[in-house]
Amino acid sequence: MMNAKQSSPNRVLSLLIIPVAIILILIGIGYMSLTFAGKVVTAQVTGYEQVMFVNNDDSTRNPSRYKLEYRFTAGEKHYTGSVTRIFEGGSHIRQTIPVRYLFFWPHVNAEDGETAVFIGPVMAGLGVMVIVFGLRNKSRSQSKSN
């Protein structure tokens, strides 16, 4: 009776591993494909805020780091996104920002020129790791039960 209760969460977790990994891989591939398949559009900056990183000595590392929020239209729908990086001269000058998005999946978007430098390979790699470790743990648990 106790084993059935313990194996139920493990069974649910093992059923979720593959779909979550596939989603991570698809998102990673989507961000990496922005470079060659993305469509460029000019997005309106809808808001910005200065992002401070405070060290232990209460000094800031870079006062020029801003988070810009933007909005663009693809088809007849509006989509939003954000970018956090160093904007020389501050971000208050920017009213628009060039954005690259996938025409078949506009939720995958990034600032033009900054596409998939980091997030795409990380997401795809994380998805592959989830599959590898998930399948390895699943095969180990099956071999232990035999």
Read off the pLDDT of residues 8-38 as tens digits, 9 standing for 90 and up: 777 777 788 889 999 999 989 988 888 888 8
Read off the pLDDT of residues 56-100 as tens digits, 9 standing for 90 and up: 555 556 667 788 899 999 999 999 999 888 777 665 667 999 999
**Assessment of whether the complete model's pTM goes beyond 0.85:** no
Contacts of 124-127 spanning 24+ positions with Cβ under 8 A:
124/24, 124/25, 124/27, 124/28, 124/29, 124/32, 125/28, 126/24, 126/28, 127/20, 127/21, 127/22, 127/23, 127/24, 127/25, 127/26, 127/27, 127/28
Domain locations in the chain as residue ranges? 14-141
